[in-house]
Amino acid sequence: MTTRSCLSVVLAAGEGTRMKSAKPKVLHEVAGLSMLGHVLTAIAGAGGTAAAVVVGPGRDDVAAEVRRLVPDAGVHVQVERLGTAHAVLQAADALKRGYDDVIVAFGDTPLVRATTFGRLREAIAAGAAVAVLGFEAADPTGYGRLVVADGKLAAIVEHKDASEEQKRITLCNGGLMALSGAQALRLLEGVGNANAKGEFYLTDVVALARQAGLPTAVVTAPEDEVRGVNDRVQLAEVEAIAQGRLRAEAMRAGVTMVAPETVFLSHDTVLGQDVVLEPHVVFGPGVRIAGDVTIRAYSHLAGCEVAAGATIGPFARIRPKSRIGEKVHIGNFVEVNRSTLGRQVEANHLAYLGDSTVGEGTNVGAGTITCNFDGADKNPTVIGRDVFVGSNSTLIAPLTIGDEVLIAAGSTITQDVEAGGLAFGRPRQAVIPERGAEKIRANKVRRAERKARGG
């Protein structure tokens, strides 16, 4: 297969009106990646060497997603909606370049695996002019039936046109197919529109191939794999399947999930061996976790790296462009954003570290925040090694704190601190004798009076 060229034509021109969304259907995400992105990625994984994506008029947003994922892909606009064969022919210029294999896929079927696209290509390499992806339907009602004779695909019969015998067939059309590059353009151009809707149907290439004496084939996949998405309910169903796949792959690779059904992974989440995920952990795109890391319950991570031996959470948030070093401990209700934490840093509770660099062995006390935003710009805070930041400290950036500095609890630090210093910034404590007791007794009286009034 490595010596064969392959063009993928991905149909992504549908508006998806049933999604009830201003966003095009194919840009809705599954596991943190657009459905279109899943299709393009899977085809690339099957050895696709070129891509042509057919979009609707004015869909610059879809075109931008295509170019983000596959910069050299062709984008072709289908102005008139005249059927699936007509849509594929919008990429005629690409088809004329003479690829060995042509895959036709849909931008709203995000669960098709690279191995399945690979098997479609293998059928073409073995001599088929057309290879159709089919599935055994639990309930075939409404699906086109794949009629097979002598191991070859004889016809695709729509449910409404099927005989009673054909309706008992459970092998159904998954919509996707592969074509021999040498025959693709001729077959597609031979499709007519003599049907009730006056449209050019891609499925007609099977009959045309048979009429020309060209071999046809069926490749099968599980029903869940060929699921399309037309509305939000189906989107949620596909998300659930994708998450199930990702969880199973992670656990088989050595990850422990205490309650797998509550963990949500992104399509590109990387988890090392002996990672432990407690319940209700969510990963956004771009997370890489090394081995022997524990992510405690209700934590959210996105766009970050976590080194070996670290502990995160519970109730922690690690935001993009953050790097968490070895054996770091991030505790409950701690947020880290665009920051790098060195080895064995501890921020155990109720802290915010933004645009910060924190040196090895530093302890960040409860209630500490780095004030990184001045209303216009984000400013950095640099904290050295073995620093002790007392609880409820406010560090106003830009700020540099040297090694082995002790910052007294409750301090507001606005100026750089040299290594080894003791820094504090707070008013001198004042005590007024008896005033506290008077206030406490007065409050007790007020509470008693309110209770007597039924308040």
pLDDT digits (tens, 9 = 90+) for 239-293: 999 999 999 999 999 999 999 999 999 999 999 999 999 999 999 999 999 999 9
216 shares its domain with 283: no
Domain annotation covers residue 357: yes
Most confident of 6-10, 137-141, 156-160: 6-10
- Of 176-180, 232-236, 299-303, 448-452, least confident by mean pLDDT is 448-452
**Confidence band for 319, pLDDT divided at 50, 70 and 90:** very high
Per-residue pLDDT tens over the stretch 328-381: 999 999 999 999 999 999 999 999 999 999 999 999 999 999 999 988 899 999
Domain annotation covers residue 432: no
For 170-187, what is the mean pLDDT?
96
**Confidence band for 411, pLDDT divided at 50, 70 and 90:** very high
Domain annotation covers residue 296: yes
Domain boundary among 226, 243, 273: 226
Residue type, 380: P
Is the pLDDT reported for residue 19 higher than 60? yes
268 shares its domain with 193: no
Report the pLDDT value the prediction gives residue 337, as an integer from 0 to 100.
Answer: 98
Q: Give how far Cα 108 sits from Cα of 15, 40, 65, Å.
A: 11, 11, 14
373 shares its domain with 398: yes
266 shares its domain with 365: yes
* CA angle (281, 283, 286) in 5-degree steps: 155
Report the pLDDT value the prediction gives residue 436, as an integer from 0 to 100.
Answer: 79
Average pLDDT, the chain: 95
Looking at the structure of the chain, the number of domains it has is 2
What is the rounded distance in angstroms from the CA atom of residue 396 to the CA atom of residue 383? 12
Q: Are 220 and 134 in contact (CB under 8 A)?
A: yes
CATH number at residue 418: 2.160.10.10
Q: Which one is catalytic: 28, 38, 76, 349?
A: 349
Report the pLDDT value the prediction gives residue 455, as an integer from 0 to 100.
Answer: 65
204 shares its domain with 257: no
pLDDT > 70: what percent of the chain? Answer: 99
Domain annotation covers residue 179: yes
Domain boundary among 226, 261, 296: 226
267 is a catalytic site residue: no
Q: Give how far Cα 32 sits from Cα of 44, 267, 342, 444, Å.
A: 18, 6, 29, 55
Is the pLDDT reported for residue 1 higher than 80? no
330 shares its domain with 411: yes
Domain annotation covers residue 447: no
Choice between 393 and 197, residue whose per-residue pLDDT is larger: 393
301 shares its domain with 344: yes
Domain boundary among 209, 226, 243: 226
207 shares its domain with 255: no
pTM above 0.75, yes or no: yes
Burial (CB < 10 A; 0-12, 13-18, 19+), residue 148, is middle
Q: According to DSSP H, which parts of 70-161 are helical?
A: 84-88, 92-95, 114-125
**Confidence band for 453, pLDDT divided at 50, 70 and 90:** confident
Domain annotation covers residue 330: yes
Give 185's contacts (C-beta < 8 A, 6+ positions apart).
92, 95, 96
271 shares its domain with 217: no
Domain annotation covers residue 444: no
For 87-96, what is the mean pLDDT?
96
For 87-101, what is the mean pLDDT?
96
Most confident of 48-52, 431-435, 448-452: 48-52
What is the rounded distance in angstroms from the CA atom of residue 137 to the CA atom of residue 172? 6
270 shares its domain with 388: yes
Domain that holds residue 410: 232-423
Domain annotation covers residue 218: yes
CATH number at residue 47: 3.90.550.10
197 shares its domain with 317: no
The dihedral over CA atoms of 99, 101, 102, 103, expressed in degrees to the nearest 10, equals: -140
**Confidence band for 2, pLDDT divided at 50, 70 and 90:** low
15 shares its domain with 57: yes
